[in-house]
Structure 1
Amino acid sequence: MEDVPASESRQAFLRTVEKGQVRRGTISSVSDVDALVDLGGVDGLLRTPEVSWQPREVPLDQVLRVGQDVTVTVLDVDADRDWLTVSLKSLQDDPFREFARTHLGHVVSGRVTKVATIGAFVRVHEHVEGLLPASELTEREGDAQPVAFGDVLVVEVADINLDRRRVKLLLRDVG
Protein backbone atom coordinates (compact mmCIF):
# COMPACT_ATOMS: atom_id res chain seq x y z
CA MET A 1 0.00 0.00 0.00
CA GLU A 2 1.32 3.40 -1.00
CA ASP A 3 1.61 6.24 1.54
CA VAL A 4 -0.47 9.31 0.77
CA PRO A 5 1.49 12.57 1.11
CA ALA A 6 0.47 14.65 4.12
CA SER A 7 -0.86 17.55 2.06
CA GLU A 8 -3.09 15.19 0.04
CA SER A 9 -4.47 13.48 3.15
CA ARG A 10 -5.05 16.90 4.70
CA GLN A 11 -6.95 18.08 1.61
CA ALA A 12 -8.97 14.83 1.59
CA PHE A 13 -9.89 15.38 5.24
CA LEU A 14 -10.89 19.00 4.58
CA ARG A 15 -13.15 17.83 1.73
CA THR A 16 -14.98 15.40 4.03
CA VAL A 17 -15.37 17.54 7.13
CA GLU A 18 -18.45 19.79 7.21
CA LYS A 19 -19.58 22.81 9.14
CA GLY A 20 -21.68 21.70 12.13
CA GLN A 21 -20.08 18.28 12.50
CA VAL A 22 -19.10 17.13 15.97
CA ARG A 23 -15.60 15.66 16.12
CA ARG A 24 -13.27 14.24 18.76
CA GLY A 25 -9.78 15.63 18.94
CA THR A 26 -6.78 16.33 21.10
CA ILE A 27 -5.40 19.71 22.12
CA SER A 28 -2.09 19.95 20.24
CA SER A 29 -1.06 23.50 21.12
CA VAL A 30 -2.21 26.16 23.59
CA SER A 31 -1.35 29.84 23.91
CA ASP A 32 -2.92 32.41 26.19
CA VAL A 33 -5.39 33.41 23.43
CA ASP A 34 -6.14 30.33 21.30
CA ALA A 35 -5.51 26.62 20.91
CA LEU A 36 -5.16 24.07 18.15
CA VAL A 37 -7.16 20.84 18.21
CA ASP A 38 -5.75 17.87 16.27
CA LEU A 39 -8.69 16.19 14.56
CA GLY A 40 -6.65 13.36 13.09
CA GLY A 41 -3.81 15.05 11.27
CA VAL A 42 -5.57 18.37 10.72
CA ASP A 43 -5.59 21.11 13.35
CA GLY A 44 -8.69 23.19 14.00
CA LEU A 45 -8.31 26.65 15.50
CA LEU A 46 -10.09 27.05 18.84
CA ARG A 47 -10.39 30.77 19.65
CA THR A 48 -10.84 31.90 23.26
CA PRO A 49 -14.50 32.99 22.89
CA GLU A 50 -15.36 29.49 21.64
CA VAL A 51 -14.02 27.67 24.72
CA SER A 52 -16.82 28.36 27.20
CA TRP A 53 -19.82 30.55 27.97
CA GLN A 54 -17.97 31.74 31.08
CA PRO A 55 -16.11 35.03 30.74
CA ARG A 56 -12.40 34.30 30.39
CA GLU A 57 -10.67 35.60 33.48
CA VAL A 58 -7.46 33.57 33.14
CA PRO A 59 -5.24 32.85 30.12
CA LEU A 60 -6.37 29.95 27.97
CA ASP A 61 -3.19 28.01 28.68
CA GLN A 62 -4.37 27.76 32.30
CA VAL A 63 -7.68 26.18 31.20
CA LEU A 64 -6.63 23.75 28.45
CA ARG A 65 -3.59 21.49 28.29
CA VAL A 66 -1.71 19.83 25.45
CA GLY A 67 -2.83 16.21 25.12
CA GLN A 68 -6.32 16.87 26.55
CA ASP A 69 -9.09 14.99 24.70
CA VAL A 70 -11.98 17.22 23.62
CA THR A 71 -15.17 17.06 21.60
CA VAL A 72 -15.72 20.06 19.34
CA THR A 73 -18.13 21.37 16.74
CA VAL A 74 -16.70 22.42 13.38
CA LEU A 75 -17.63 26.09 12.89
CA ASP A 76 -16.05 26.78 9.52
CA VAL A 77 -14.11 24.90 6.87
CA ASP A 78 -11.98 26.69 4.29
CA ALA A 79 -10.40 24.01 2.11
CA ASP A 80 -8.90 26.66 -0.19
CA ARG A 81 -6.96 28.17 2.69
CA ASP A 82 -6.38 24.74 4.29
CA TRP A 83 -8.07 25.91 7.49
CA LEU A 84 -10.88 25.13 9.92
CA THR A 85 -12.23 26.62 13.14
CA VAL A 86 -13.85 24.69 15.99
CA SER A 87 -15.85 25.33 19.17
CA LEU A 88 -16.16 23.69 22.57
CA LYS A 89 -18.81 26.20 23.69
CA SER A 90 -21.34 25.15 21.05
CA LEU A 91 -21.75 21.78 22.80
CA GLN A 92 -22.47 23.39 26.18
CA ASP A 93 -25.83 24.67 27.42
CA ASP A 94 -26.19 28.40 26.81
CA PRO A 95 -26.79 30.01 30.23
CA PHE A 96 -28.34 33.07 28.57
CA ARG A 97 -31.09 31.01 26.89
CA GLU A 98 -31.75 29.12 30.12
CA PHE A 99 -32.00 32.43 31.97
CA ALA A 100 -34.42 33.76 29.34
CA ARG A 101 -36.70 30.71 29.73
CA THR A 102 -36.92 31.05 33.49
CA HIS A 103 -36.46 34.68 34.58
CA LEU A 104 -38.52 37.08 32.43
CA GLY A 105 -40.72 39.17 34.74
CA HIS A 106 -38.99 37.93 37.89
CA VAL A 107 -37.58 40.17 40.59
CA VAL A 108 -33.99 39.24 41.47
CA SER A 109 -31.03 40.77 43.24
CA GLY A 110 -27.78 41.39 41.45
CA ARG A 111 -24.42 43.05 41.86
CA VAL A 112 -23.41 46.12 39.82
CA THR A 113 -20.47 45.18 37.57
CA LYS A 114 -20.09 48.44 35.67
CA VAL A 115 -21.52 51.95 35.75
CA ALA A 116 -21.75 53.86 32.46
CA THR A 117 -23.55 56.93 31.16
CA ILE A 118 -26.30 54.70 29.74
CA GLY A 119 -26.90 53.04 33.11
CA ALA A 120 -25.60 50.29 35.36
CA PHE A 121 -24.76 46.76 34.32
CA VAL A 122 -25.97 44.26 36.89
CA ARG A 123 -25.01 40.58 37.10
CA VAL A 124 -28.39 38.89 37.59
CA HIS A 125 -27.29 35.29 37.03
CA GLU A 126 -24.00 33.41 37.00
CA HIS A 127 -23.22 34.29 33.34
CA VAL A 128 -25.82 36.96 32.60
CA GLU A 129 -25.66 40.72 32.98
CA GLY A 130 -28.48 43.15 32.33
CA LEU A 131 -28.67 46.88 31.81
CA LEU A 132 -30.46 49.04 34.34
CA PRO A 133 -31.02 52.20 32.24
CA ALA A 134 -29.87 55.57 33.56
CA SER A 135 -33.51 56.72 33.55
CA GLU A 136 -34.24 54.07 36.21
CA LEU A 137 -31.38 55.30 38.35
CA THR A 138 -32.53 58.92 38.33
CA GLU A 139 -35.88 57.80 39.72
CA ARG A 140 -34.34 56.39 42.93
CA GLU A 141 -36.16 58.28 45.65
CA GLY A 142 -34.21 59.55 48.63
CA ASP A 143 -30.91 58.10 47.42
CA ALA A 144 -28.15 60.68 47.65
CA GLN A 145 -25.51 58.14 46.64
CA PRO A 146 -25.16 57.14 42.99
CA VAL A 147 -25.03 53.47 42.15
CA ALA A 148 -21.47 52.15 42.37
CA PHE A 149 -19.52 49.08 41.34
CA GLY A 150 -20.30 46.23 43.74
CA ASP A 151 -23.65 47.56 44.95
CA VAL A 152 -26.38 44.94 45.29
CA LEU A 153 -29.69 46.02 43.74
CA VAL A 154 -33.15 44.48 43.54
CA VAL A 155 -34.30 44.55 39.91
CA GLU A 156 -37.03 43.16 37.70
CA VAL A 157 -36.09 41.38 34.48
CA ALA A 158 -38.26 43.51 32.17
CA ASP A 159 -37.14 42.43 28.70
CA ILE A 160 -34.86 39.84 27.14
CA ASN A 161 -33.66 40.03 23.54
CA LEU A 162 -32.27 36.61 22.58
CA ASP A 163 -30.90 37.74 19.20
CA ARG A 164 -28.91 40.63 20.65
CA ARG A 165 -28.28 38.83 23.98
CA ARG A 166 -29.52 41.82 25.96
CA VAL A 167 -31.43 42.04 29.23
CA LYS A 168 -33.29 45.19 30.31
CA LEU A 169 -33.83 45.68 34.02
CA LEU A 170 -36.12 47.88 36.09
CA LEU A 171 -35.25 48.97 39.62
CA ARG A 172 -37.47 47.56 42.38
CA ASP A 173 -37.62 48.56 46.01
CA VAL A 174 -36.74 46.17 48.79
CA GLY A 175 -39.54 45.68 51.30
Structure 2
Amino acid sequence: MEEKNTMMDFLDEIEKSMERIYKGDLLKGTVISVNEETVLVNINYISDGIIRREGMTEDFEYREGDVIPVIVLDPHDAEGNVVLTHREAEELDGWEDLEEAFKSKKRLLAKVTAAVKGGVSATYRNVSCFIPASLLSYRYVEDLSAFAGKTLEVVVEDFDREKKRVVLSRKAVESAERDQQKKQLMKELQAGEMRQGVVTKLMKFGAFVDLGGAEGLIHLDDLAWHRVNDPSEVVSEGDQVTVYVANIEHKTGKISLVLKNVDEDPWKGVADYYKVGDYVEAKVVRLLDFGAFVEVEEGVEGLVHISEISSDRVRKPSDVLKVGDAVQAVILKVDEENKKMSLSIKEAEGQVHDDVELVTEESSATLGDLFGDKFKDFFKK
Protein backbone atom coordinates (compact mmCIF):
# COMPACT_ATOMS: atom_id res chain seq x y z
CA MET A 1 0.00 0.00 0.00
CA GLU A 2 2.87 2.32 0.88
CA GLU A 3 4.60 1.65 -2.45
CA LYS A 4 1.32 2.44 -4.27
CA ASN A 5 1.02 5.81 -2.49
CA THR A 6 4.64 6.64 -3.26
CA MET A 7 4.08 5.87 -6.92
CA MET A 8 0.93 8.02 -7.00
CA ASP A 9 2.76 10.92 -5.41
CA PHE A 10 5.54 10.56 -7.94
CA LEU A 11 3.05 10.57 -10.83
CA ASP A 12 1.36 13.69 -9.37
CA GLU A 13 4.69 15.47 -9.31
CA ILE A 14 5.36 14.53 -12.91
CA GLU A 15 1.89 15.72 -13.93
CA LYS A 16 2.38 19.05 -12.17
CA SER A 17 5.76 19.53 -13.80
CA MET A 18 4.15 19.04 -17.20
CA GLU A 19 1.65 21.88 -16.61
CA ARG A 20 2.39 24.83 -18.78
CA ILE A 21 3.47 28.12 -17.24
CA TYR A 22 3.03 31.49 -18.88
CA LYS A 23 4.55 34.92 -18.76
CA GLY A 24 3.06 36.89 -15.87
CA ASP A 25 2.15 33.84 -13.77
CA LEU A 26 2.54 34.43 -10.01
CA LEU A 27 4.09 31.35 -8.42
CA LYS A 28 5.62 30.18 -5.15
CA GLY A 29 9.13 28.75 -5.32
CA THR A 30 11.78 27.32 -3.02
CA VAL A 31 15.28 28.79 -3.11
CA ILE A 32 17.81 26.12 -4.19
CA SER A 33 21.02 28.10 -4.45
CA VAL A 34 22.20 31.70 -4.14
CA ASN A 35 25.15 33.69 -5.50
CA GLU A 36 25.80 37.38 -6.18
CA GLU A 37 24.39 37.25 -9.72
CA THR A 38 21.58 34.70 -9.61
CA VAL A 39 19.11 32.87 -7.38
CA LEU A 40 18.00 29.40 -8.48
CA VAL A 41 14.40 28.54 -7.53
CA ASN A 42 12.45 25.27 -7.63
CA ILE A 43 8.98 26.13 -9.00
CA ASN A 44 7.77 22.52 -9.34
CA TYR A 45 8.22 22.70 -13.08
CA ILE A 46 10.08 20.55 -15.56
CA SER A 47 12.99 22.94 -15.08
CA ASP A 48 13.99 25.26 -12.27
CA GLY A 49 13.61 29.02 -12.51
CA ILE A 50 16.33 31.61 -12.35
CA ILE A 51 16.25 35.11 -10.85
CA ARG A 52 18.92 37.38 -12.25
CA ARG A 53 20.30 40.41 -10.37
CA GLU A 54 17.80 42.86 -11.91
CA GLY A 55 14.94 40.69 -10.65
CA MET A 56 16.21 40.49 -7.07
CA THR A 57 14.76 42.59 -4.25
CA GLU A 58 17.24 45.05 -2.78
CA ASP A 59 18.43 44.25 0.76
CA PHE A 60 16.48 40.97 0.72
CA GLU A 61 18.32 38.05 2.33
CA TYR A 62 17.94 35.00 0.07
CA ARG A 63 18.47 31.73 1.92
CA GLU A 64 18.34 28.15 0.67
CA GLY A 65 15.05 26.49 1.58
CA ASP A 66 13.06 29.73 1.83
CA VAL A 67 9.76 29.90 -0.04
CA ILE A 68 9.37 33.14 -2.00
CA PRO A 69 6.84 34.58 -4.47
CA VAL A 70 8.01 34.94 -8.08
CA ILE A 71 6.57 36.13 -11.38
CA VAL A 72 7.40 34.45 -14.68
CA LEU A 73 9.13 36.90 -17.03
CA ASP A 74 9.99 34.33 -19.71
CA PRO A 75 8.96 30.65 -19.57
CA HIS A 76 11.71 29.70 -22.03
CA ASP A 77 14.50 32.12 -22.89
CA ALA A 78 17.18 31.62 -25.53
CA GLU A 79 19.20 29.50 -23.11
CA GLY A 80 16.21 27.39 -22.12
CA ASN A 81 15.81 28.96 -18.67
CA VAL A 82 12.59 29.94 -16.93
CA VAL A 83 13.34 33.57 -16.09
CA LEU A 84 11.70 34.89 -12.92
CA THR A 85 11.49 38.12 -10.98
CA HIS A 86 11.16 38.28 -7.25
CA ARG A 87 11.14 42.07 -6.97
CA GLU A 88 7.75 42.56 -8.62
CA ALA A 89 6.22 39.51 -6.93
CA GLU A 90 7.40 40.74 -3.55
CA GLU A 91 5.72 44.08 -4.24
CA LEU A 92 2.41 42.41 -5.16
CA ASP A 93 2.46 40.38 -1.95
CA GLY A 94 3.46 43.53 -0.09
CA TRP A 95 0.36 45.36 -1.25
CA GLU A 96 -1.79 42.43 -0.10
CA ASP A 97 -0.12 42.42 3.32
CA LEU A 98 -0.49 46.18 3.71
CA GLU A 99 -4.19 46.12 2.83
CA GLU A 100 -4.83 43.34 5.32
CA ALA A 101 -2.79 45.14 8.00
CA PHE A 102 -4.72 48.36 7.38
CA LYS A 103 -8.03 46.58 7.97
CA SER A 104 -6.89 44.55 10.97
CA LYS A 105 -4.46 47.12 12.52
CA LYS A 106 -1.80 44.43 12.43
CA ARG A 107 1.78 45.56 13.03
CA LEU A 108 4.43 45.26 10.32
CA LEU A 109 8.18 45.82 10.02
CA ALA A 110 9.19 48.58 7.58
CA LYS A 111 12.66 49.86 6.75
CA VAL A 112 13.31 53.61 6.65
CA THR A 113 15.19 54.53 3.49
CA ALA A 114 15.69 58.30 3.71
CA ALA A 115 14.55 61.58 5.25
CA VAL A 116 12.25 63.49 2.90
CA LYS A 117 10.15 66.64 3.11
CA GLY A 118 7.71 66.31 5.99
CA GLY A 119 8.89 62.90 7.17
CA VAL A 120 10.75 59.78 6.03
CA SER A 121 10.34 57.31 3.18
CA ALA A 122 10.19 53.60 4.00
CA THR A 123 9.72 50.28 2.24
CA TYR A 124 7.70 47.21 3.10
CA ARG A 125 8.24 44.21 0.79
CA ASN A 126 9.35 46.51 -2.00
CA VAL A 127 6.34 48.85 -1.59
CA SER A 128 7.25 52.50 -1.07
CA CYS A 129 5.63 54.02 2.02
CA PHE A 130 5.66 57.34 3.87
CA ILE A 131 5.92 58.08 7.59
CA PRO A 132 5.09 61.73 8.44
CA ALA A 133 7.36 63.37 11.02
CA SER A 134 4.35 63.69 13.34
CA LEU A 135 3.85 59.89 13.25
CA LEU A 136 7.50 58.88 13.54
CA SER A 137 7.53 58.96 17.34
CA TYR A 138 5.43 60.03 20.32
CA ARG A 139 8.20 62.55 20.95
CA TYR A 140 9.21 65.43 18.72
CA VAL A 141 11.87 64.30 16.24
CA GLU A 142 14.39 66.98 15.40
CA ASP A 143 16.73 64.98 13.14
CA LEU A 144 14.73 62.82 10.73
CA SER A 145 17.87 61.51 9.04
CA ALA A 146 18.78 59.67 12.26
CA PHE A 147 16.12 57.08 11.37
CA ALA A 148 17.59 56.24 7.94
CA GLY A 149 18.40 52.54 7.68
CA LYS A 150 16.40 51.59 10.77
CA THR A 151 13.72 48.90 10.73
CA LEU A 152 10.62 50.04 12.64
CA GLU A 153 7.54 48.25 13.86
CA VAL A 154 4.59 50.20 12.46
CA VAL A 155 0.88 50.16 11.74
CA VAL A 156 -0.78 51.25 8.50
CA GLU A 157 -2.38 54.63 9.15
CA ASP A 158 -3.74 55.23 5.62
CA PHE A 159 -3.96 53.01 2.54
CA ASP A 160 -4.98 53.66 -1.07
CA ARG A 161 -3.81 51.04 -3.55
CA GLU A 162 -5.16 52.83 -6.60
CA LYS A 163 -3.18 55.96 -5.77
CA LYS A 164 -0.26 53.84 -4.54
CA ARG A 165 -0.30 55.68 -1.21
CA VAL A 166 0.64 54.06 2.07
CA VAL A 167 1.06 56.06 5.29
CA LEU A 168 2.64 54.29 8.25
CA SER A 169 2.80 55.21 11.93
CA ARG A 170 5.47 54.32 14.44
CA LYS A 171 3.91 56.70 16.98
CA ALA A 172 0.81 54.50 17.32
CA VAL A 173 2.97 51.51 18.23
CA GLU A 174 5.05 53.48 20.74
CA SER A 175 1.95 55.03 22.34
CA ALA A 176 0.31 51.62 22.80
CA GLU A 177 3.49 50.22 24.33
CA ARG A 178 3.88 53.21 26.64
CA ASP A 179 0.27 52.87 27.80
CA GLN A 180 1.04 49.33 28.93
CA GLN A 181 4.33 50.40 30.52
CA LYS A 182 2.60 53.28 32.30
CA LYS A 183 -0.08 51.00 33.77
CA GLN A 184 2.61 48.70 35.13
CA LEU A 185 4.75 51.58 36.40
CA MET A 186 1.83 53.24 38.19
CA LYS A 187 1.18 49.96 40.01
CA GLU A 188 4.79 49.72 41.16
CA LEU A 189 5.66 53.38 41.76
CA GLN A 190 5.63 54.60 45.36
CA ALA A 191 6.04 58.06 46.84
CA GLY A 192 9.30 58.42 48.72
CA GLU A 193 11.41 56.15 46.52
CA MET A 194 14.31 57.00 44.24
CA ARG A 195 14.07 56.32 40.48
CA GLN A 196 16.31 56.60 37.44
CA GLY A 197 15.00 58.63 34.51
CA VAL A 198 15.84 60.61 31.39
CA VAL A 199 15.12 64.33 30.97
CA THR A 200 12.83 64.60 27.93
CA LYS A 201 11.66 68.21 27.85
CA LEU A 202 12.47 71.54 29.47
CA MET A 203 9.77 74.13 30.14
CA LYS A 204 9.87 77.47 31.94
CA PHE A 205 8.21 75.90 34.98
CA GLY A 206 10.38 72.78 35.21
CA ALA A 207 11.69 69.62 33.55
CA PHE A 208 9.88 66.47 32.42
CA VAL A 209 11.55 63.13 33.13
CA ASP A 210 10.72 59.78 31.52
CA LEU A 211 10.68 57.08 34.19
CA GLY A 212 10.22 54.27 31.66
CA GLY A 213 6.62 54.40 30.50
CA ALA A 214 5.42 57.52 32.29
CA GLU A 215 6.72 61.06 32.64
CA GLY A 216 6.98 63.03 35.83
CA LEU A 217 7.58 66.74 36.40
CA ILE A 218 10.38 68.31 38.39
CA HIS A 219 9.09 71.76 39.29
CA LEU A 220 11.54 74.62 39.03
CA ASP A 221 11.76 74.89 42.83
CA ASP A 222 12.61 71.18 43.12
CA LEU A 223 15.58 71.17 40.74
CA ALA A 224 18.03 72.53 43.33
CA TRP A 225 18.08 74.11 46.78
CA HIS A 226 19.41 77.36 45.36
CA ARG A 227 17.22 79.60 43.23
CA VAL A 228 16.85 78.36 39.64
CA ASN A 229 15.55 80.79 37.02
CA ASP A 230 15.56 78.31 34.14
CA PRO A 231 15.77 74.49 34.23
CA SER A 232 18.61 74.58 31.66
CA GLU A 233 20.81 75.92 34.47
CA VAL A 234 20.65 72.48 36.10
CA VAL A 235 19.74 69.85 33.46
CA SER A 236 19.64 69.30 29.70
CA GLU A 237 17.38 67.15 27.51
CA GLY A 238 18.75 63.62 27.37
CA ASP A 239 20.41 63.78 30.81
CA GLN A 240 20.24 60.63 32.96
CA VAL A 241 19.04 61.66 36.42
CA THR A 242 18.19 60.11 39.76
CA VAL A 243 14.99 61.61 41.18
CA TYR A 244 12.92 61.40 44.34
CA VAL A 245 9.23 60.55 43.83
CA ALA A 246 7.40 63.21 45.83
CA ASN A 247 3.78 62.58 44.90
CA ILE A 248 1.62 60.36 42.65
CA GLU A 249 -1.90 61.26 41.53
CA HIS A 250 -3.34 57.97 40.28
CA LYS A 251 -6.55 59.53 38.95
CA THR A 252 -4.80 62.05 36.74
CA GLY A 253 -1.58 60.10 36.20
CA LYS A 254 0.51 63.08 37.36
CA ILE A 255 3.85 62.35 39.02
CA SER A 256 5.77 64.98 40.98
CA LEU A 257 9.53 64.51 41.17
CA VAL A 258 12.38 66.15 43.05
CA LEU A 259 15.95 66.33 41.77
CA LYS A 260 17.53 68.17 44.70
CA ASN A 261 18.82 65.95 47.50
CA VAL A 262 16.03 65.85 50.09
CA ASP A 263 18.54 64.83 52.76
CA GLU A 264 20.53 68.03 52.28
CA ASP A 265 17.73 70.47 53.08
CA PRO A 266 19.45 73.78 53.98
CA TRP A 267 16.40 74.74 56.03
CA LYS A 268 17.10 71.98 58.57
CA GLY A 269 18.24 73.67 61.78
CA VAL A 270 17.60 77.19 60.47
CA ALA A 271 15.40 78.07 63.47
CA ASP A 272 18.27 77.11 65.79
CA TYR A 273 20.81 79.17 63.91
CA TYR A 274 18.86 82.27 62.87
CA LYS A 275 16.90 84.07 65.58
CA VAL A 276 14.37 86.91 65.49
CA GLY A 277 16.30 90.15 65.82
CA ASP A 278 19.49 88.82 64.22
CA TYR A 279 21.23 91.08 61.74
CA VAL A 280 22.17 89.28 58.51
CA GLU A 281 23.81 90.03 55.20
CA ALA A 282 21.69 88.92 52.23
CA LYS A 283 21.54 89.17 48.45
CA VAL A 284 18.49 90.33 46.47
CA VAL A 285 17.46 87.45 44.17
CA ARG A 286 13.97 88.43 43.03
CA LEU A 287 11.78 91.52 42.90
CA LEU A 288 7.98 91.46 42.93
CA ASP A 289 5.33 94.15 43.35
CA PHE A 290 4.80 93.27 47.03
CA GLY A 291 8.44 93.00 48.07
CA ALA A 292 11.88 91.50 47.51
CA PHE A 293 13.17 87.98 48.05
CA VAL A 294 16.64 87.87 49.50
CA GLU A 295 19.03 84.94 49.87
CA VAL A 296 20.41 84.64 53.39
CA GLU A 297 22.52 81.61 52.45
CA GLU A 298 22.40 79.14 49.58
CA GLY A 299 18.96 77.56 49.59
CA VAL A 300 17.56 79.78 52.34
CA GLU A 301 15.54 82.77 51.16
CA GLY A 302 13.31 85.22 52.94
CA LEU A 303 10.86 87.97 52.03
CA VAL A 304 11.35 91.65 52.69
CA HIS A 305 7.86 93.07 52.36
CA ILE A 306 7.61 96.39 50.48
CA SER A 307 6.73 98.09 53.76
CA GLU A 308 10.01 96.81 55.29
CA ILE A 309 12.35 97.96 52.51
CA SER A 310 12.85 101.55 53.60
CA SER A 311 11.66 104.19 56.08
CA ASP A 312 10.83 106.30 53.05
CA ARG A 313 7.76 105.57 50.94
CA VAL A 314 8.50 102.92 48.32
CA ARG A 315 6.11 102.58 45.37
CA LYS A 316 7.93 99.65 43.76
CA PRO A 317 10.76 97.53 45.16
CA SER A 318 12.62 97.98 41.87
CA ASP A 319 12.78 101.75 42.55
CA VAL A 320 15.32 101.20 45.33
CA LEU A 321 16.66 97.67 44.80
CA LYS A 322 17.95 95.53 41.98
CA VAL A 323 18.71 91.81 41.68
CA GLY A 324 22.21 91.12 42.93
CA ASP A 325 22.28 93.92 45.51
CA ALA A 326 23.91 93.06 48.84
CA VAL A 327 21.76 94.28 51.75
CA GLN A 328 21.74 94.18 55.52
CA ALA A 329 18.52 93.16 57.22
CA VAL A 330 16.96 92.21 60.52
CA ILE A 331 15.10 88.88 60.89
CA LEU A 332 11.48 89.44 61.88
CA LYS A 333 10.17 85.85 61.71
CA VAL A 334 11.51 82.33 61.06
CA ASP A 335 9.18 79.47 60.02
CA GLU A 336 11.43 76.46 59.47
CA GLU A 337 8.58 74.01 58.90
CA ASN A 338 7.12 75.99 55.98
CA LYS A 339 10.54 77.28 54.84
CA LYS A 340 9.65 80.93 55.27
CA MET A 341 11.52 83.88 56.70
CA SER A 342 10.50 87.53 57.04
CA LEU A 343 13.11 90.28 57.15
CA SER A 344 13.33 94.05 57.34
CA ILE A 345 15.89 96.23 55.61
CA LYS A 346 14.58 99.45 57.14
CA GLU A 347 15.03 98.03 60.67
CA ALA A 348 18.72 97.64 59.91
CA GLU A 349 19.13 101.13 58.44
CA GLY A 350 21.70 103.05 60.45
CA GLN A 351 21.60 100.47 63.23
CA VAL A 352 24.43 98.15 62.14
CA HIS A 353 27.64 99.25 63.87
CA ASP A 354 31.06 97.71 64.03
CA ASP A 355 30.27 96.23 67.45
CA VAL A 356 27.20 94.40 66.08
CA GLU A 357 28.07 90.90 64.80
CA LEU A 358 26.30 90.05 61.56
CA VAL A 359 25.10 86.46 61.16
CA THR A 360 26.61 85.37 57.84
CA GLU A 361 27.80 82.17 56.23
CA GLU A 362 31.38 83.31 56.72
CA SER A 363 30.90 83.92 60.45
CA SER A 364 30.18 80.19 60.96
CA ALA A 365 30.70 77.69 58.20
CA THR A 366 28.33 75.04 59.55
CA LEU A 367 25.93 74.47 62.41
CA GLY A 368 28.27 71.74 63.59
CA ASP A 369 31.09 74.27 63.88
CA LEU A 370 28.82 76.62 65.82
CA PHE A 371 27.66 74.07 68.39
CA GLY A 372 31.08 72.41 68.45
CA ASP A 373 32.64 75.61 69.78
CA LYS A 374 29.94 75.87 72.43
CA PHE A 375 30.70 72.34 73.61
CA LYS A 376 34.40 73.19 73.79
CA ASP A 377 33.62 76.20 75.99
CA PHE A 378 31.38 74.05 78.15
CA PHE A 379 34.06 71.43 78.82
CA LYS A 380 36.65 74.13 79.64
CA LYS A 381 34.57 75.24 82.60
In the superposition, the TM-score normalised over structure 1's length comes to 0.68
- State the 1:17 CA deviation: 0.7
State how far apart, in whole Å, the 2-side matches of 1:86 and 1:48 are: 11
Match of 2:215 in 1: 43
CA RMSD of aligned residues (A): 3.6
More strand by share: 1
- The alignment status of 1:24 with 2:169, answered yes or no, reads no
2:5 corresponds to: none
Q: Distance in 2 between matches of 1:18 and 1:106?
A: 41
User: Of 230, 252, 264, which aligns to 1:81?
Assistant: 252
1:160 offset after TM fit, Å? 0.7
Name the structure 2 match of 1:142: none
Between the aligned residues of both structures, percent identity stands at 20
Alignment length, in residue pairs?
164
* Equivalent AA in structure 2 for residue 161 of structure 1: D
- Unaligned 5+ residue runs, structure 1? 140-146
- Tell me, in whole angstroms, the C-alpha distance in 2 between the residues paired with 1:25 and 1:157: 40
Aligned equivalent of 1:63, options 234, 243, 258 = 234
Q: Could you tell me how far 1:113 is from its partner in structure 2?
A: 6.1
Of 142, 167, 171 in structure 1, the residue corresponding to residue 342 of structure 2 is: 167
- Using the TM superposition, give the Cα deviation of residue 11 of structure 1 relative to its aligned residue in structure 2, in angstroms: 0.7
Task: Name the SS for the 2:264 alignment partner.
Answer: coil
C-alpha distance in 1 between matches for 2:193 and 2:213: 17
Q: Which runs of 5+ in 2 are unaligned?
A: 1-175, 313-318, 355-381
C-alpha change, 1:165 and 1:90, in structure 2 (3 Å) is: farther
- Alpha-carbon offset, residue 165 of structure 1: 0.8
SS of match in other structure, 1:97: coil
Say yes or no: does 1:52 pair with 2:224. Answer: yes
**One-letter code of the match for 1:91?**
V
Cα displacement (A) at 1:155: 3.6
Aligned-pair CA distance for 1:16: 1.3
- Change over 3 Å in CA distance of 1:148–1:40 after alignment to 2: same
Query: What is the DSSP-based 3-state SS (H/G/I as helix, E as strand, rest coil) of the residue aligned with 2:216?
Result: strand
Post-superposition offset of 1:134: 4.0
Other structure's SS at 1:95 match: coil
Residue 129 of structure 1 aligns with an amino acid whose one-letter code is: G
Report what 1:102 is aligned to: 273
Instruction: Please tell me whether Structure 1 or Structure 2 has the larger radius of gyration of its CA atoms.
Output: 2
- Aligned-partner SS, 1:8: helix
SS of equivalent residue, structure 1 residue 9 = helix
The 1:39/1:73 distance shift into structure 2, 3 A limit, reads same
Q: Give the match's secondary structure for 1:52.
A: coil
Quote the offset at 1:132 in angstroms: 7.0
Whether the aligned pair in 2 keeps the contact of 1:154 and 1:174 (CA below 8 Å) is no
Quick one: structure 1 residues 174 and 130, their matched pair in 2 at CA, closer, same or farther if it must change by over 3 Å? farther
Q: Distance in 2 between matches of 1:130 and 1:80?
A: 36
**Number of the residue aligned with 2:331:** 157
- CA 1:61–1:138 in structure 2 vs 1: closer, same or farther (change >3 Å)? closer
TM-score by length of 2: 0.36
Q: CA separation in 1, counterparts of 2:332 and 2:183?
A: 51
User: Contact 1:52 / 1:89 at 8 angstroms: preserved in 2?
Assistant: yes
DSSP-derived class of the 1:12 partner: helix
1:96 match: secondary structure: coil
CA shift in 2, pair 1:27/1:153, >3 Å: closer
Higher-RCO chain (CA-CA 8 Å, sequence separation at least 6):
1
Structure 1 range deviating more: 114-123 or 61-70: 114-123
SS in 2 for 1:41: coil
CA distance in 1, matches of 2:232, 2:306: 37
